[in-house]
Amino acid sequence: MKTGRIAVLAGMLALVAGLSVLAGWLGHRAEVMRMERTGSATLEQAADWLSGQVDRYRYLPPLIARHPQVLAALQGGAPAREEANRMLETAADVSGALDIYVMDGSGLTIAASNWLLDRSFIGQNFVWRPYFQRAMTGVLGYYHAVGTTSNQRGFYFAHPVRDPAGAIIGAVAVKIDLGRIEDGWRVDRDTLFFSDAREVIFLSSRAELVLRALRPDGPGPIPPGADAAQYAGVNPVPLGGLDPGEVHGRRLWQMSGLAALPARALWLEQPIPTLGLTGNILLDMAPAERQALLWASLTAACAALVILGATVALERRAALRRQLSTEERAKARLEAEVRARTAALSAAVARLENEVSERIATEARLRTVQDQLVQAEKLRALGALSAGISHELNQPLTAIQTLAENGGLLLERGEQARAATNLGRIAELAQRGGRIIRNLRAFARNEAEPATEVDLVAVVGDALDILEQRLAQAGVEVEWDAPRAPVMVIGGRVRLQQVVVNLLGNASDAMEGQPAPRRVVLSLERGAGRVRLRLRDTGPGLADPGRLFDPFYTTKPVGTGLGLGLSISYGIVQSFGGEIRGENASDGGAVFTVELPAVGGASVAA
């Protein structure tokens, strides 16, 4: 009997122990999975933030590479390089870049933002750096390394510098300060670090981990595209005592010797291909172990209470009260977590709404500025045509006055037939003046309607009316065999008229000073649902066809043009679903082609 009771008690104790172990394992696993979810979100946010901080500087090398002072420094002497030094110093201060420098085709640094510092790059040769080598192939170079001159870690972007002929003659490099990036992580409780392809920690929220190797035998092999001096002579020391393990199918960090790091931590990773790095986060396992202990203890207590409650009713009721109390606490914790999650989601939704509103407002401002630029270019063109327009209107007005005076004399003499002829001529001249004024008024109007069906023949005719006097004064002959039937395209009449006026005006300016004949030939053709308007001149041709549509690019003398006409024309044609191209003719002169969507059965008839 006694032996049986002992066996039952032993069985109950074994059951309690087994349940406690199982509950502890389940609690530990649940906490590890929760840690994995929150840790992955934190790591993803940190990786996105790092990528965003680095991407802010991608635009800087291409912009600086186009600066005239950079080209002058590469092609000129000491004065030009000193001016470039000052410009680079200002650019670094404004952008927050650590260093900005210019290298010639051999990799020698000829100008740098740190030119006045002891760690100046001037005179240093970086031909062996991968970012320089990649930039010299014509693409944006990127690399991360420790500076051999400054001994500071940094991300590098490099972009080629081209001469006016398009040949690569050097490169501009920008170095990003990692200190500002790492400062944003110092307050984080969790350990964040980013390792490269050689498994060397390059950035970290813990200074003790920087330039330490994760591999027990030191850095991994040098990958293609890297260099042996990536760490500037520093040999990354392996993290002694690191013994990675596994917990619930997840990677486990196990290490002793660094007080700032947990001895056991959940180790999560996320590749960042755009930076060539891998993000890592260490989550202390202590909460999971406490959770396992808590679940095991609760399970043991509940099992003990159930066993005792089977024999003592009071104990059962007490056990029930304790169980209800435990459930209430769990419910309260769950409700608190739900409220916290709801608040976080509401905040995220509010941030997204603000971002959407800001983007919509920015796009509206951009459209307004674009419309203002188009209107400003039209008014500038009208200003350039003002003298010709005055002459064009003055001629019919003078003739009207003369014919009117003669008509009065003819009526006094009773020659009514001749007086009627004069009146008919006066009506024709008045219609001509009215047509000129209508075209100018339509041209100056700030058109904002959507694209509609437009007769391209009428658009060209209106543009020729506007420019008739200017072209005549410049000695320019216009060959335009206008089709008899309308040629309908998708577009806006006023804006397309601005494009044709701009192309005709540019052709006239290009042929100024050229020997006769100075001629512009206009033609229309259609195919594959498109209508193409071609304009060819007998001028000297295009100096740089590849930059025709760049804003502020002009070959005219200073003060005679802003370089916005072709850029605005390009935007107008593209907004109607069309294309505009410029090229040199094989036998001289320039050829511009404006291609627009045709309307249904539109055709071109001679």
Mean pLDDT of the chain: 82
Residue owning tokens 């300016």: 509
Pick from 35-39, 53-57, 221-225: least confident: 221-225
Contact yes or no for 217/238 (Cβ under 8 A): yes
Distance (Å, whole) CA 478 – CA 189 = 76
Asked if pLDDT for residue 377 goes beyond 80, the answer is: no
Among 178, 174, 243, 177, CA closest to 207: 178
For residue 357, name the pLDDT band (cuts at 50, 70, 90).
confident
Percent of the chain residues topping a pLDDT of 90: 26
Structural tokens at position 499? 């494009």
What does the pLDDT read at residue 92? Answer: 92
> Residue 477: which of 524, 386, 531, 539 has the closest Cα?
539
* DSSP H helical ranges for 96-230: 130-135, 178-183
- Who contacts 137 (Cβ-Cβ below 8 Å, separation ≥6)? 160
- The answer on pLDDT for 260 being more than 50 is yes
Residue with tokens 């063109």: 381
Residue 520 · residue 537 · CB < 8 Å: yes
Alpha carbon distance 123, 126 (integer Å)? 10
* H-run or E-run covering 156: strand 153-162
Q: What share of the chain is helix, strand, coil (3-state, %, to 5)?
A: 50, 20, 30
Residue 527's H or E segment, with its range, is strand 518-527
Kindly indicate the confidence band of residue 425, based on its pLDDT and cuts at 50, 70 and 90.
low
Please list, in sequence order, all residues whose beta carbon lies within 8 angstroms of the beta carbon of residue 422, skipping any fewer than 6 positions away: 403, 404, 406, 407, 410
Q: What is the structure's pLDDT at 605?
A: 47
- DSSP class per residue in 22-45: HHHHHHHHHHHHHHHHHHHHHHHH
Contact (Cβ atoms closer than 8 angstroms) between residue 152 and residue 181: no
- Residue 111 and residue 123: Cα distance in Å, rounded? 9
Across 1-15, 34-48, 260-274, least confident range: 1-15
Name 332's Cβ contacts closer than 8 Å, sequence gap at least 6: none
Pairwise pLDDT comparison (268 vs 546), residue with the higher score = 268
First CA to last CA distance, the chain:
121
Contact present, 99 and 196 (Cβ < 8 Å):
no
Give the pLDDT band of residue 388 (cuts 50, 70, 90).
Answer: very low
- Residue (of 311, 350, 226) closest to 277 by Cα position: 226
What percentage of the chain carries pLDDT values higher than 70? 85
* 118-140 average pLDDT score: 93
Cβ burial, residue 282 (10 Å; 0-12/13-18/19+): buried
Q: Give the total residue count for the chain.
A: 606
DSSP string covering 360-393: HHHHHHHHHHHHHHHHHHHHHHHHHHHHHHHHHH
Segment 212-232 shows an average pLDDT of 83
Question: What band does 557 get if pLDDT is binned at 50, 70 and 90?
Answer: low
Work out the average pLDDT over 84-104. Answer: 94
Q: What is the pLDDT of residue 418?
A: 72
User: Is the pLDDT confidence value at 198 over 60?
Assistant: yes
Query: Is the pLDDT at 310 greater than 60, yes or no?
Result: yes
CA 545 centroid distance within chain? 25
| Of 82, 228, 224, 64, the residue nearest 148 (C-alpha) | 228
User: What pLDDT is attached to residue 387?
Assistant: 45
- Of 29-38, 287-296, 432-441, the range with the lowest mean pLDDT is 432-441
The CA distance from 504 to 569, in Å, is 12
Domains by residue range for the chain, with CATH: 59-182 (3.30.450.20), 449-597 (3.30.565.10)
Residue range 308-331: average pLDDT?
83
pLDDT-derived band at 579 (thresholds 50, 70, 90) equals very high
Q: Are 369 and 560 in contact (CB under 8 A)?
A: no
pLDDT of 380 above 70: no
Q: Is the pLDDT of residue 356 over 70?
A: yes
